[in-house]
Amino acid sequence: MKNGNSSLARRSRVLIVDDNPTNVELIKKQLHGNDYDFEASYNGYDALEKTRTWSPDLILLDLMMPGMSGYDVCKSLKADKTYRFIPIIIITAMSELEDKLKAIDIGADDFLMKPFNKLELITRIRSLLRLKTLYDDLDSSENILFSLAQAIETKDQYTRGHSERVARYSRMLAKALGLSESDQEFIWRGGLLHDIGKIGISEVILHKPGPLNEEEMIHIRTHPQKGFEICSPLKSLSPSLTVIKSHHERFDGCGHPDGLECDKIPLMARIASIADSFDAMTTDRPYRKAMKLEEALKIFDREIGNGQWDPQLVTEFVKMMRNGH
């Protein structure tokens, strides 16, 4: 990663992107005294250039800008493996639920409405900078695993970005449930790596456009155990292993690899299972188009007592998504 550990040797760099200079100065004033260095960009093109040349640790991004919108800036940065882990907080006057969900879907890490509360902004910045520091501090072995996980997805246009979205939805739900910041970080890492075991699965099976036969299903169901075996030697990933191994367990005990049921399934795995299913529903696949948000949420509503997911967690997830995070 381009920034490496540089954020530990200097003050955190915050890039403020807004076409209104008054808004930029207001944010600087609100954050004054918090030991940050600032740069400002007044359009999307300059924001991309400053990201390349200045290497910010966090970006505060307005959505409505002439020429290149905040959506386009966010999408461009999150699609670039060099910059995709720079936290982006959207700060906007746009209040519609669909605006928030669109921002989250393209990779935004947080969303604040104007006018914002100074303390809330500072708290969210500090939280995301801590997460970025944790990622920057990952040892080289972990970075190799994350790179492998990304490489698996880039081979398939239908699953590209899947693990990052699962990680993001999982962290959102963990936060809504009141889990600690460290647990939110553990589930985020687990989400990024939850499908790494697919590195041992034939690409013919992974990319098959139609239904899998019984033999192929048996083979693909080995990926959680394979992923667990790949990641378990790294002590730093120990808290995330339950996500990697158990995200395909079902609340009724009919999942795999261990047939765990109810509370015997670790909480973080139950959370990731919901996130994994939601992303599968709301993205294009070879055999069907993506469902719309409300269509997917209605499936959760309908299936809440049918055994696949933890009913209480599904209720919280649906509420969270309908409330726009």
Residue 296 amino acid letter: A
CATH of the domain at 168: 1.10.3210.10
CATH of the domain at 70: 3.40.50.2300
Considering the domain architecture, whether residues 112 and 246 belong to the same structural domain is answered as no
Considering the domain architecture, whether residues 66 and 116 belong to the same structural domain is answered as yes
298 phi/psi in degrees, rounded to 5: -65, -30
Contact 269, 249 (CB under 8 A): yes
Answer whether residue 158 is part of any domain: yes
Considering the domain architecture, whether residues 20 and 152 belong to the same structural domain is answered as no
With residues binned 3-state (H G I as helix, E B as strand, rest as coil), the percentages for the chain, rounded to 5, are 55, 10, 35
What does the pLDDT read at residue 221?
Answer: 92
Domain count, the chain: 2
Considering the domain architecture, whether residues 37 and 165 belong to the same structural domain is answered as no
Binning pLDDT at 50, 70 and 90, where does residue 155 land? low
What does the pLDDT read at residue 5?
Answer: 42
Answer whether residue 61 is part of any domain: yes
Considering the domain architecture, whether residues 280 and 236 belong to the same structural domain is answered as yes
Answer whether residue 60 is part of any domain: yes
Considering the domain architecture, whether residues 178 and 98 belong to the same structural domain is answered as no
Contact 79, 303 (CB under 8 A): no
The pTM of this model reads: 0.60
Rounded to the nearest integer, the mean pLDDT of the chain is 88
Answer whether residue 254 is part of any domain: yes
pLDDT by residue (tens digit) across 265-288? 999 999 999 999 999 999 877 667
- When pLDDT is averaged across residues 94-106 and rounded to a whole number, the result is 84
Q: Tell me which of 102, 198, 226, 245 is the catalytic residue.
A: 198
Answer whether residue 153 is part of any domain: yes
What does the pLDDT read at residue 85?
Answer: 84
- When pLDDT is averaged across residues 200-228 and rounded to a whole number, the result is 86
| 198 catalytic residue (yes or no) | yes
Identify which of 278, 277, 267 has the alpha carbon closest to the alpha carbon of residue 313. Answer: 267
Considering the domain architecture, whether residues 169 and 52 belong to the same structural domain is answered as no
Query: Which of 135, 167, 186 is the C-terminal boundary of a domain?
Result: 135
Answer whether residue 178 is part of any domain: yes
Query: Which of 92, 107, 135 is the C-terminal boundary of a domain?
Result: 135
- Strand order across the beta sheet in which 36-41 lies: 36-41, 12-17, 58-61, 88-92, 110-113
pLDDT at 253 over 60: yes
Considering the domain architecture, whether residues 233 and 289 belong to the same structural domain is answered as yes
pLDDT at 106 over 80: yes
Considering the domain architecture, whether residues 121 and 215 belong to the same structural domain is answered as no
Q: Most distant CA pair in the chain: distance in Å?
A: 62
Considering the domain architecture, whether residues 148 and 236 belong to the same structural domain is answered as yes
292 CB-near residues (< 8 Å, 6+ apart): 282
Residue 21 amino acid letter: P
- When pLDDT is averaged across residues 295-312 and rounded to a whole number, the result is 90
Considering the domain architecture, whether residues 94 and 171 belong to the same structural domain is answered as no
The three-class DSSP label of residue 233 is coil
Tell me the residue range of the domain where 107 lies: 6-135
Answer whether residue 1 is part of any domain: no
Answer whether residue 129 is part of any domain: yes
Measured between its terminal Cα atoms, the distance across the chain in Å is 29
- When pLDDT is averaged across residues 228-237 and rounded to a whole number, the result is 86
Query: Which of 103, 135, 167 is the C-terminal boundary of a domain?
Result: 135
Cis omega before residue 115 (within 30°)? yes
Considering the domain architecture, whether residues 154 and 267 belong to the same structural domain is answered as yes
